[in-house]
Structure 1
Amino acid sequence: MTKTDFAAWSWTAGAGIDGLQLVRKPLQQPGPGEVLVANRAIALNPVDWKIIEWGHAAWKTGHVPGVDGMGVVVAAGTGVTIKPGTRVAYHQALDRAGSFAEFCVLDAATVMQVPSGLDDAAAAALPCPGLTAWQALEKVPGTSRDVLVVGAGGAVGLLLAQLAVQRGLRVWATAGAAHHAQLKALGVVGVFDYRDAHWQPALQAALGERRLHAVFDTVSGTHAASLAPMVGYNGHLVCIQDRQESAPLPAFSTAISLHEVALNSFHAHAGLSDRQALRQQGERLLHSVLDGSLLTSRHQAFDFDALPQALHALKQGTGSGKWVARLAD
């Protein structure tokens, strides 16, 4: 029997997480340059609950949210070389029907092939945090310098800290005490508890005469601005949440560079070479997860039918790890 519809979570304008409804949607075939993917796993990210609650200029009632997923290509549009049966992971554009569904239509140029042997849930959990971490690190040149990853216990921060260590940077981090031993085992030089009011002077004492070449902040633009004085001359302040709307330091002082990380923007603004680079790096990260050279956050499983409850838990910070749901084949 040919499938004509599928289950999906539908957004209602102004109703937030509690307004999500599980509905049936008509199954559409992919257009030129697109693939239709049958989802096997979906992963939640903070951006999901934020946009569901805040709304999006391109969303109307009935929109399907969700940015991260993994599945199997079941149909391909004209001009697509990816064959049906290929396992892929993806980060969907916010303005397109998303991953919170049994099926998803995607831009074929952006999907990442999943290596054989990598678990479905592990693949679904990687795109948003992994590509965000990679983009953040690309903002900063050089090796053998001191950098700080703020929030290294989270999904993005954990990956970013490892990638920075692997590049040859001296990595310092802030995280809850439960994450300190793991981060040090992964090569982080020193970890500070962000709840300790004296962590900044303790870090500066550990650095001695050196200054930080870069700070990667995963909290907020305001929090990042408060850390700007810790960055040394010609250093870098990288905002993974928000951005700096005004310079946090006086002109002609330490002359730091300000960086914005906005993964979703690549869907609308990246050129072909940018998309190819992002896909290649995503596939490299997937292989690193498979071979064990890149450790990801532990998974917190939830049922697809209980997706709103999982979003509430993510928002409230309850549970631990990356929220991932598996779907039936």
Structure 2
Amino acid sequence: MQGYGFVAVGGPEQQAFVEVDEPRPGPGELLVTVRAAGVNPGDWKVREGGYGAAAGPAVLGREVAGTVLEVGAGVDAFAVGDEVFGGCPDMLGGWAPRARVTAGFAARRPDGVSAPDAAVLPVAAGTAWDALVQLDLPEGATLLVNGGGGGVGVPVIQLAVARGLRVIATASPAKHGLLTDFGAIPVAYGDGVVERIREVEPEGVDGIFDMVGGDPLRAVASLLTAPERLISIADYGLSTELGGQQIVRDRSTAVLERLAAHVADGRLDPYVTDVRPLADAAAALALVEDGHATGKVVLTP
């Protein structure tokens, strides 16, 4: 089978269509015909050798939506023909006509939720959901989303609003309209950001979800009323130094079912803005790696 991935660990020059053995589901796995696959920053990080991934050649792709072709040993929650979405084992394999999916991190795709919308839920929206559960802010509390215009920022804003939180989000001015549409109060990042946030929330914020790290995170952390209510997915070391938490991912069927329900009832827009054929995988990954994607990017084999 041919899929798009990398021939060896390294930069974009290592990317290529590669020939691999037909996938077969192992215990606790599904084999699906891929209808849509998400593109994430983690994909180029895997290509560069991050997360302890395979040295290559390997097919990229961490999340998919598709139709079950075969179920592995020990799987009784799904059957052949089910429309499902979920995460791929070892964060690999999704950018191909057929892919393995972890049954414990898969869910049925509801009627009314498109394959592209479902395909992008496990990574970005799943991260957002887990962070909000972990922060456990009460209704009416104020959450600061530091770097709110990205792939995780957009769902965390919507999910926070759905939980009854007041959301302030930092982003470039070009994305302020988008953040407002999703229910956040936008604030321009950069010099003076703390003062601009205090103009909106003079008493500080109850929680921070950070996707920037470094000095920008250190600056806004001073706004927290409780240091432990800080999660950064960009700078784990600094988050810990500042008294915050490291995110603990759930990666369960239950989370995916709740996310899909939020999409179905309109509380969550996965914000898929770019759907491309698998032949355009190189350009799609470059768009994400360069930081130029304005929403979620999806490949359709």
* TM-score by shorter chain over 0.5: yes
| AA at the equivalent of 1:213 | D
1:132 shift after superposition? 0.4
- Structure 2 CA distance for partners of 1:114 and 1:247, relative to 1, 3 Å: closer
- Taking structure 1 as the reference length, the TM-score comes to 0.83
Asked if the contact 1:36–1:75 (Cα under 8 Å) also holds between the matched residues in 2, the reply is: yes
Cross-structure match for 2:280: 306
| AA at the equivalent of 1:84 | V
- Structure 2 CA distance for partners of 1:203 and 1:66, relative to 1, 3 Å: same
Secondary structure at 1:216 match in 2: strand
Are 1:259 and 2:245 an aligned pair?
yes
Are 1:202 and 2:188 an aligned pair?
no
Cross-structure match for 2:212: 219
Asked if the contact 2:231–2:245 (Cα under 8 Å) also holds between the matched residues in 1, the reply is: yes
| AA at the equivalent of 1:207 | E
Q: CA RMSD in A?
A: 2.2
Q: What CA distance in whole angstroms lies between the structure 2 residues aligned with 1:52 and 1:58?
A: 8
Asked if the contact 1:228–1:248 (Cα under 8 Å) also holds between the matched residues in 2, the reply is: no
Q: Counterparts of 1:1-329 in structure 2 under 5 Å?
A: 6-81=1-76, 82-93=78-89, 95=90, 97-141=92-136, 142-188=138-184, 190-195=185-190, 197-208=191-202, 210-220=203-213, 223-233=216-226, 235-244=228-237, 248-249=241-242, 257-261=243-247, 263=249, 278-327=252-301
1:262 shift after superposition? 5.5
Identity value in percent: 31
1:245 shift after superposition? 5.1
Q: What CA distance in whole angstroms lies between the structure 1 residues aligned with 2:295 and 2:133?
A: 25
| AA at the equivalent of 1:232 | T
Asked if the contact 2:147–2:212 (Cα under 8 Å) also holds between the matched residues in 1, the reply is: yes
Asked if the contact 2:142–2:165 (Cα under 8 Å) also holds between the matched residues in 1, the reply is: yes
Asked if the contact 1:13–1:55 (Cα under 8 Å) also holds between the matched residues in 2, the reply is: no
Asked if the contact 2:33–2:68 (Cα under 8 Å) also holds between the matched residues in 1, the reply is: yes
Secondary structure at 1:43 match in 2: strand
- Structure 2 CA distance for partners of 1:56 and 1:79, relative to 1, 3 Å: closer
Q: What residue ranges of structure 1 are gaps of 5+ in the alignment?
A: 1-5, 250-256, 264-273
Q: What CA distance in whole angstroms lies between the structure 2 residues aligned with 1:12 and 1:28?
A: 18
Secondary structure at 1:137 match in 2: helix
- Structure 2 CA distance for partners of 1:238 and 1:319, relative to 1, 3 Å: closer
Aligned positions, number: 299
| AA at the equivalent of 1:290 | A
Q: What CA distance in whole angstroms lies between the structure 1 residues aligned with 2:142 and 2:33?
A: 44
1:319 shift after superposition? 4.4
Q: What CA distance in whole angstroms lies between the structure 1 residues aligned with 2:42 and 2:92?
A: 15
Secondary structure at 1:230 match in 2: coil
Asked if the contact 1:7–1:101 (Cα under 8 Å) also holds between the matched residues in 2, the reply is: yes
Q: What residue ranges of structure 2 are gaps of 5+ in the alignment?
A: none
1:96 shift after superposition? 5.6
- Taking structure 2 as the reference length, the TM-score comes to 0.90
1:172 shift after superposition? 1.0
Q: What CA distance in whole angstroms lies between the structure 2 residues aligned with 1:307 and 1:260?
A: 32
- Structure 2 CA distance for partners of 1:235 and 1:60, relative to 1, 3 Å: closer
Q: What CA distance in whole angstroms lies between the structure 1 residues aligned with 2:141 and 2:111?
A: 36
1:324 shift after superposition? 0.8
Q: What CA distance in whole angstroms lies between the structure 2 residues aligned with 1:52 and 1:262?
A: 23
| AA at the equivalent of 2:143 | V
